Amino acid sequence: MSNLSYVRTEMLGEQSPPGTAIGIVGWLRANLFSNWLNTILTLVSLVFIYQVFAAILPWLIHSSWTANSLQECRAQVDAAYGMAAEGGCWAVIRERYLQLVFGFYPSELYWRPILAFGLTLVALAPILFTALPRKMLWLSPFAPFVVPWLLWGGTVWVPLLVVAGLGLAYVVTRVLSSHVSGLLAVPVAALVAILWWLYAVMPVNDAVTAMIANQRIPDVSADMRDKVEILPGEIAALDAQIAALGQTVGRAEAEKDALVSALEAAETEAARTAVLSAIHELRGPRDALAALEKQRLVRNEELSRARTLLAGLEALPENRTTRETLLAQLANATGAARGDLEARLATVDNRIASVVKEVGRVGLIPVESRRFGGFMLSITIGLVAITASLPIGVMLALGRQSDLLILRAICVGFIEFIRGVPLITLLFVASVLLNYFLPPGTSFDIILRVMIMVTLFASAYMAEVIRGGLAALPKGQYEAADALGLDYWKAQRLIIMPQALKISIPGIVSTFIGVFKDTTLVSIIGLLDPLGLSNAIRANTAWNGIVWELYGFIALMFFVFCFSMSRYSMYLERKLRTGHR
Amino acid sequence: MKKSVILGALTVAGLLAGAAGAATLDDVKARGKLNCGINTGLVGFAAPDANGEWSGFDVAYCRALAGAVLGDPSAIEFVSLTGKTRFTALASGEIDALSRNTTWTLTRDVDLKFTFVGVNYYDGQGFMVPKALGVTSAKELDGATVCIQTGTTTELNLADFFRTNNISYEPVPIETNAEAQQQFLAGACDVYTTDASGLAATRATFENPGDYAILPEIISKEPLGPLVRHGDDGWADIARWTLNALIAAEELGVTSANIDEMAAAPTSNPEINRLLGTEGNMGEMLGLPADWAVKAIKAGGNYGEIFEKYIGETTPVGLARGLNAQWTNGGLMYAPPFR
State the SS3 of chain B: CHHHHHHHHHHHHHHHHHHHHHHHHHHHHHHCCEEEEEECCECCCEEECCCCCEECHHHHHHHHHHHHHHCCCCCEEEEEECCCCHHHHHHCCCCCEEEEEEECCHHHHHHCCEEECCCCEEECEEEEEEHHHCCCCHHHCCCEEEEEECCCHHHHHHHHHHHHCCCCEEEEEECCHHHHHHHHHCCCCCEEEEEHHHHHHHHHCCCCHHHEEECCCCCCCEEEEEEEECCCHHHHHHHHHHHHHHHHHHHHCCCCCCHHHHHHCCCCCHHHHHHHCCCCCHHHHHCCCCCHHHHHHHHHCCHHHHHHHHCCCCCCCCCCCHHHCEHHHCCCECCCCCC
pLDDT at A310 over 50: yes
Question: Which of B180, B197, B221 is the endpoint of a domain?
Answer: B221
pLDDT at B12 over 60: no
Query: For residue B245, what pLDDT is reported?
Result: 97
The pLDDT-based confidence of A242 (bands split at 50, 70, 90) is very high
Is residue A442 predicted with pLDDT exceeding 80? no
Tell which of B12, B15, B33, B74 to mutate to test the A interface (max A CBs under 10 Å). Answer: B74
Q: Is residue B314 part of a domain?
A: yes
Q: Among A253, A287, A314, A541, pick the best mutation site for testing chain B contact (most B Cβ within 10 A).
A: A541
Confidence of residue B8 (pLDDT cuts 50, 70, 90): very low
* Beta carbons within 8 Å of A162's beta carbon, 6+ residues apart: A145, A197, A201
pLDDT at B7: 40
Which of A261, A428, A535 would you mutate first to test chain B, the one with the most B CBs within 10 A? A535
* Residue B206: pLDDT over 70: yes
Place A135 in a pLDDT band, splitting at 50, 70 and 90. confident
What would the mean pLDDT of B174-184 be, rounded to a whole number?
83
Flag whether B7 is in a domain.
Answer: no
Domain A372-580's class?
mainly alpha
Please state which of the ranges A283-292, B4-13, B139-148, B168-177 shows the lowest mean pLDDT. B4-13
Comparing B31 with B104, which gets the higher pLDDT?
B104
CB < 8 Å to A547, chain B: 178, 181-182
pLDDT at B3: 41
Q: Scanning every residue of chain B, which has its alpha carbon at the shortest distance from the alpha carbon of A443? A: B94
Q: Is residue B64 part of a domain?
A: yes
The 10s digit of each residue's pLDDT in A324-347 is 998 888 888 777 788 888 888 888
How would you class A392 by CB atoms within 10 Å of its CB: exposed for 0-12, middle for 13-18, buried for 19 or more? middle
Final residue before a domain boundary, out of B188, B205, B221: B221
Of A29-38, A64-73, B235-244, give the range with the top mean pLDDT: B235-244
Confidence of residue B4 (pLDDT cuts 50, 70, 90): very low
What mean pLDDT value characterizes chain A?
89
Residue B247 is assigned to a structural domain of this protein = yes
Contact yes or no for B50 and A300 at CB 8 A: no
- Among B12, B74, B317, select the one facing A301 at the smallest CB separation: B74
Domain check: are B208 and B264 in the same one? no
CA distance A105 to A378: 14
pLDDT bracket for residue A490 (50, 70, 90): very high
User: Which of B80, B85, B178 comes nearest A547 by C-beta?
Assistant: B178
The answer to whether residues B236 and B323 belong to one domain is yes
For residue B4, tell me if it sits in a domain: no
Confidence of residue B97 (pLDDT cuts 50, 70, 90): very high
Give the amino acid at A42: T
CB contact under 8 A, B48 and A541: no
Give the closest of A437, A539, A547 to B42, CB-based: A539
d(CA A229, nearest CA chain B) in Å: 15
Q: Are B17 and B231 in contact (CB under 8 A)?
A: yes
Most confident of A313-317, A406-410, B133-137: A406-410
Instruction: Say whether both B234 and B115 belong to one domain.
Output: yes
| Mean pLDDT of the A46-55 span | 94
User: A373 to chain B, minimum CA–CA distance in Å?
Assistant: 11
Percent with pLDDT over 70 in chain A: 98
Judgement on whether residues B210 and B67 belong to the same structural domain of the protein: no
Same-domain status, B48 and B34: yes
- The CATH number of whichever domain residue B61 belongs to comes to 3.40.190.10
Residue B107 located in a structural domain: yes
B31 chain-A contacts, CB cut-off 8 A: 354
Q: B315 and chain A: CB distance < 8 Å anywhere?
A: yes
Cβ contact A544–B20 (<8 Å): no
User: Which of residues 200 through 259 in chain B touch A, CB cutoff 8 A?
Assistant: 201-202, 204-207
Mean pLDDT, range A209-224, rounded to an integer: 91
- The C-alpha of A546 sits at a distance from chain B's nearest C-alpha, in angstroms, of 8
Give me the mean pLDDT over the B84-99 stretch: 90
CA nearest B78 in A: which residue? Answer: A370
Domain co-membership, B128 together with B83: no
The verdict on residue B12 lying in a domain is: no
CB pairs under 8 A between A and B: 147
Q: Which of B74, B75, B82 lies closest to A526 in CB terms?
A: B82
pLDDT confidence of residue B6: 42
Q: Which of residues 124-183 of B touch A (CB under 8 A)?
A: 176, 178, 181-182
Chain B positions touching A548 (Cβ under 8 A) are: none
- Position B277 scores a pLDDT of 93
In chain A, what residues touch B43 (CB-CB under 8 Å)? 538-541, 544
Query: Residue A499: which pLDDT band, with cuts at 50, 70 and 90?
Result: very high
Position B15 scores a pLDDT of 40
B16 and A104 in contact by Cβ < 8 A? no
Q: How many domains does chain B have?
A: 2
Residue B94 to residue A435, Cβ atoms within 8 A: yes
Same domain, B91 and B234: yes
> Closest approach of chain B CAs to the CA of A124, in angstroms?
32
Q: What is the pLDDT of residue A179?
A: 83
Average pLDDT over residues A8-26: 82
Element (H, E) at A551: helix A548-575
Is the same domain home to B229 and B111?
A: yes
Of B197, B221, B245, the position where a domain reaches its end is: B221
**Is there a single domain that holds both residue B52 and residue B81?**
yes
Q: Would you kindly state where each structural domain of chain A is located, as residue ranges?
A: 106-152, 216-364, 372-580
pLDDT at A439 over 90: no
Q: Is residue B3 part of a domain?
A: no
The answer to whether residues B152 and B198 belong to one domain is yes
Cα atoms found within 13 Å of the Cα of residue B138, Cβ hemisphere only: 22
- Please indicate whether, in this complex, the C-beta atoms of B31 and A437 are within 8 angstroms of each other: no
B50–chain A Cβ distance below 8 A for any pair? yes
Give the domain extent around B156. Answer: 124-221
ipTM exceeding 0.90, yes/no: no
| pLDDT at A524 exceeding the cut of 80 | yes
